[in-house]
Amino acid sequence: MKQHSVREAWLQDAVRHLEPVFSKAGYAIPPVRVSCGFPASSSPRTTLGQCWPRERSGGGVNEIFISPKIDDPVQLLDTLVHELCHAVDDCFSGHGEDFKGIAQTVGLEGPARMAHATEALMVRLMMISQELGPYPHQAINFPPPRPSNSSSSKAKCGQCGYEVTLLKKWASYGAPICPKDNIRMLEAAPETIENTSDHDSDSVAKGGKSAPDQIRRAIS
Protein backbone atom coordinates (compact mmCIF):
# COMPACT_ATOMS: atom_id res chain seq x y z
CA MET A 1 0.00 0.00 0.00
CA LYS A 2 1.34 3.40 -0.98
CA GLN A 3 1.59 6.36 1.37
CA HIS A 4 1.02 9.82 -0.08
CA SER A 5 1.72 12.93 1.97
CA VAL A 6 0.30 15.41 -0.54
CA ARG A 7 -3.29 15.39 -1.81
CA GLU A 8 -2.38 16.30 -5.39
CA ALA A 9 0.11 13.41 -5.56
CA TRP A 10 -2.66 11.01 -4.51
CA LEU A 11 -5.04 12.50 -7.08
CA GLN A 12 -2.56 12.32 -9.96
CA ASP A 13 -1.72 8.74 -9.00
CA ALA A 14 -5.46 8.02 -9.01
CA VAL A 15 -5.65 9.23 -12.62
CA ARG A 16 -2.92 6.77 -13.58
CA HIS A 17 -4.81 3.94 -11.87
CA LEU A 18 -7.99 4.89 -13.75
CA GLU A 19 -6.33 4.88 -17.18
CA PRO A 20 -7.04 1.15 -17.74
CA VAL A 21 -10.73 1.73 -16.97
CA PHE A 22 -10.93 4.32 -19.74
CA SER A 23 -8.68 2.50 -22.22
CA LYS A 24 -10.81 -0.65 -21.87
CA ALA A 25 -13.82 1.50 -22.84
CA GLY A 26 -11.93 2.86 -25.86
CA TYR A 27 -10.97 6.28 -24.47
CA ALA A 28 -7.63 7.87 -23.65
CA ILE A 29 -7.45 10.23 -20.70
CA PRO A 30 -5.95 13.52 -21.94
CA PRO A 31 -3.28 15.37 -19.96
CA VAL A 32 -4.96 16.63 -16.77
CA ARG A 33 -4.07 18.37 -13.56
CA VAL A 34 -6.12 17.36 -10.55
CA SER A 35 -6.25 19.41 -7.37
CA CYS A 36 -8.27 19.64 -4.20
CA GLY A 37 -10.33 22.83 -4.36
CA PHE A 38 -13.78 24.39 -4.39
CA PRO A 39 -15.62 24.96 -7.70
CA ALA A 40 -15.36 28.43 -9.16
CA SER A 41 -18.84 28.83 -10.60
CA SER A 42 -21.09 26.44 -8.67
CA SER A 43 -22.27 26.11 -5.10
CA PRO A 44 -19.46 24.65 -2.95
CA ARG A 45 -22.17 23.01 -0.83
CA THR A 46 -23.47 20.81 -3.61
CA THR A 47 -20.72 20.52 -6.22
CA LEU A 48 -18.20 17.72 -5.61
CA GLY A 49 -16.06 18.11 -8.71
CA GLN A 50 -15.40 20.42 -11.63
CA CYS A 51 -13.50 20.14 -14.91
CA TRP A 52 -12.16 23.10 -16.89
CA PRO A 53 -11.62 22.97 -20.69
CA ARG A 54 -8.10 23.11 -22.09
CA GLU A 55 -8.60 26.55 -23.61
CA ARG A 56 -9.05 27.95 -20.07
CA SER A 57 -5.77 26.52 -18.79
CA GLY A 58 -2.46 28.33 -19.17
CA GLY A 59 -0.89 24.91 -19.49
CA GLY A 60 -3.30 23.78 -22.19
CA VAL A 61 -4.57 20.84 -20.12
CA ASN A 62 -7.88 19.99 -18.48
CA GLU A 63 -7.89 21.27 -14.91
CA ILE A 64 -9.97 19.20 -12.48
CA PHE A 65 -10.86 20.21 -8.93
CA ILE A 66 -12.24 17.82 -6.33
CA SER A 67 -14.15 19.35 -3.43
CA PRO A 68 -12.46 19.48 0.00
CA LYS A 69 -15.78 18.17 1.34
CA ILE A 70 -14.73 14.67 0.23
CA ASP A 71 -12.25 12.55 2.14
CA ASP A 72 -13.62 9.08 1.37
CA PRO A 73 -11.29 7.57 -1.27
CA VAL A 74 -13.97 5.58 -3.10
CA GLN A 75 -16.37 8.54 -3.32
CA LEU A 76 -13.47 10.65 -4.50
CA LEU A 77 -12.58 8.15 -7.24
CA ASP A 78 -16.23 8.02 -8.29
CA THR A 79 -16.25 11.81 -8.61
CA LEU A 80 -12.93 11.78 -10.43
CA VAL A 81 -14.23 9.33 -13.04
CA HIS A 82 -17.15 11.69 -13.71
CA GLU A 83 -14.81 14.65 -14.18
CA LEU A 84 -12.42 12.65 -16.35
CA CYS A 85 -15.33 11.92 -18.68
CA HIS A 86 -15.66 15.70 -19.10
CA ALA A 87 -11.91 15.90 -19.77
CA VAL A 88 -12.15 13.24 -22.49
CA ASP A 89 -14.87 15.39 -24.10
CA ASP A 90 -12.93 18.58 -23.24
CA CYS A 91 -16.20 19.91 -21.78
CA PHE A 92 -17.66 20.41 -25.30
CA SER A 93 -21.00 18.69 -24.70
CA GLY A 94 -21.54 19.68 -21.07
CA HIS A 95 -23.83 16.94 -19.80
CA GLY A 96 -25.18 16.27 -23.29
CA GLU A 97 -25.23 13.15 -25.43
CA ASP A 98 -21.47 12.89 -26.03
CA PHE A 99 -20.78 13.04 -22.31
CA LYS A 100 -23.52 10.50 -21.61
CA GLY A 101 -22.00 8.10 -24.13
CA ILE A 102 -18.55 8.35 -22.54
CA ALA A 103 -19.91 8.04 -19.01
CA GLN A 104 -22.06 4.99 -19.73
CA THR A 105 -19.28 3.21 -21.62
CA VAL A 106 -16.81 3.81 -18.81
CA GLY A 107 -19.26 2.50 -16.21
CA LEU A 108 -21.32 5.38 -14.85
CA GLU A 109 -25.10 5.37 -14.51
CA GLY A 110 -27.94 7.70 -13.51
CA PRO A 111 -28.86 11.23 -14.67
CA ALA A 112 -25.93 12.86 -16.47
CA ARG A 113 -25.30 15.61 -13.92
CA MET A 114 -25.23 13.03 -11.12
CA ALA A 115 -23.74 10.12 -13.07
CA HIS A 116 -22.06 7.74 -10.63
CA ALA A 117 -20.33 4.37 -10.66
CA THR A 118 -22.26 1.20 -11.39
CA GLU A 119 -21.91 -1.65 -8.93
CA ALA A 120 -19.26 -3.29 -11.11
CA LEU A 121 -17.21 -0.10 -11.40
CA MET A 122 -17.61 0.56 -7.67
CA VAL A 123 -15.88 -2.77 -6.94
CA ARG A 124 -13.01 -1.70 -9.20
CA LEU A 125 -12.78 1.68 -7.45
CA MET A 126 -12.59 -0.05 -4.07
CA MET A 127 -9.63 -2.10 -5.31
CA ILE A 128 -7.92 1.01 -6.67
CA SER A 129 -8.44 2.87 -3.38
CA GLN A 130 -6.66 0.06 -1.54
CA GLU A 131 -3.72 0.32 -3.93
CA LEU A 132 -3.55 4.09 -3.52
CA GLY A 133 -3.66 3.99 0.27
CA PRO A 134 -5.22 6.69 2.50
CA TYR A 135 -6.17 10.01 0.94
CA PRO A 136 -4.13 12.60 2.92
CA HIS A 137 -7.01 14.95 3.64
CA GLN A 138 -9.72 15.47 6.25
CA ALA A 139 -13.07 16.72 4.97
CA ILE A 140 -14.14 20.32 5.51
CA ASN A 141 -17.52 20.43 7.22
CA PHE A 142 -19.86 23.20 6.16
CA PRO A 143 -22.00 25.01 8.76
CA PRO A 144 -25.76 25.06 8.12
CA PRO A 145 -26.72 27.60 5.44
CA ARG A 146 -27.81 31.03 6.64
CA PRO A 147 -30.61 32.98 4.99
CA SER A 148 -29.38 36.24 3.55
CA ASN A 149 -31.02 39.63 3.81
CA SER A 150 -32.32 39.15 0.32
CA SER A 151 -34.77 36.42 1.26
CA SER A 152 -37.68 36.83 -1.10
CA SER A 153 -41.33 36.15 -1.70
CA LYS A 154 -43.27 35.94 -4.92
CA ALA A 155 -46.46 37.69 -5.91
CA LYS A 156 -48.74 36.25 -8.55
CA CYS A 157 -51.81 37.61 -10.30
CA GLY A 158 -54.76 35.37 -9.58
CA GLN A 159 -56.29 36.19 -12.94
CA CYS A 160 -53.57 36.06 -15.60
CA GLY A 161 -50.75 34.35 -13.66
CA TYR A 162 -48.24 37.21 -14.03
CA GLU A 163 -45.52 36.65 -11.40
CA VAL A 164 -42.84 38.84 -9.81
CA THR A 165 -40.28 38.46 -7.04
CA LEU A 166 -40.59 40.57 -3.89
CA LEU A 167 -37.42 41.27 -1.95
CA LYS A 168 -37.74 41.05 1.80
CA LYS A 169 -37.12 44.77 2.34
CA TRP A 170 -40.09 45.67 0.11
CA ALA A 171 -42.49 42.90 1.18
CA SER A 172 -43.93 45.04 4.01
CA TYR A 173 -45.50 47.34 1.38
CA GLY A 174 -47.63 44.44 0.16
CA ALA A 175 -48.04 42.83 -3.24
CA PRO A 176 -48.01 45.13 -6.31
CA ILE A 177 -50.79 45.74 -8.79
CA CYS A 178 -50.83 43.49 -11.86
CA PRO A 179 -49.89 45.67 -14.87
CA LYS A 180 -52.21 43.69 -17.12
CA ASP A 181 -55.38 43.22 -15.05
CA ASN A 182 -54.93 46.19 -12.69
CA ILE A 183 -55.75 44.10 -9.60
CA ARG A 184 -53.78 43.41 -6.42
CA MET A 185 -51.51 40.41 -6.86
CA LEU A 186 -51.40 37.58 -4.30
CA GLU A 187 -48.27 37.05 -2.23
CA ALA A 188 -46.89 33.49 -2.19
CA ALA A 189 -44.84 31.76 0.51
CA PRO A 190 -41.32 33.21 0.92
CA GLU A 191 -38.26 31.54 -0.55
CA THR A 192 -34.95 31.48 1.30
CA ILE A 193 -31.98 32.47 -0.81
CA GLU A 194 -28.90 30.77 0.56
CA ASN A 195 -25.99 33.06 1.25
CA THR A 196 -23.70 31.33 -1.24
CA SER A 197 -23.21 31.54 -4.98
CA ASP A 198 -25.05 28.83 -6.90
CA HIS A 199 -24.60 29.73 -10.54
CA ASP A 200 -24.89 27.00 -13.16
CA SER A 201 -21.35 26.15 -14.20
CA ASP A 202 -22.59 24.55 -17.39
CA SER A 203 -22.75 27.45 -19.84
CA VAL A 204 -22.84 25.03 -22.77
CA ALA A 205 -26.12 25.05 -24.66
CA LYS A 206 -28.62 22.35 -23.69
CA GLY A 207 -28.32 20.76 -27.10
CA GLY A 208 -24.73 19.78 -26.32
CA LYS A 209 -22.77 22.32 -28.40
CA SER A 210 -21.47 25.69 -27.31
CA ALA A 211 -22.39 28.81 -29.21
CA PRO A 212 -19.59 29.88 -31.60
CA ASP A 213 -19.04 33.20 -29.84
CA GLN A 214 -19.22 31.75 -26.35
CA ILE A 215 -16.14 30.99 -24.27
CA ARG A 216 -16.68 27.60 -22.70
CA ARG A 217 -16.61 27.40 -18.94
CA ALA A 218 -16.06 24.74 -16.33
CA ILE A 219 -18.40 21.76 -16.08
CA SER A 220 -19.34 20.17 -12.77
Domain ranges of the chain: 7-132, 152-187
SS3 124: helix
pLDDT digit string (tens) for the chain, length 220 residues:
678 999 999 999 999 999 999 999 999 999 999 999 998 877 888 889 999 999 999 999 999 999 999 999 999 999 999 999 999 999 999 999 999 999 999 999 999 999 999 999 999 999 999 999 999 999 998 777 665 555 567 888 888 888 888 877 777 788 889 998 899 888 875 544 333 333 333 333 333 344 334 445 567 6
What's the predicted TM-score (pTM) here? 0.70
- pLDDT score at 171: 74
CATH class of 7-132: alpha beta
- pLDDT score at 185: 86
- pLDDT score at 44: 82
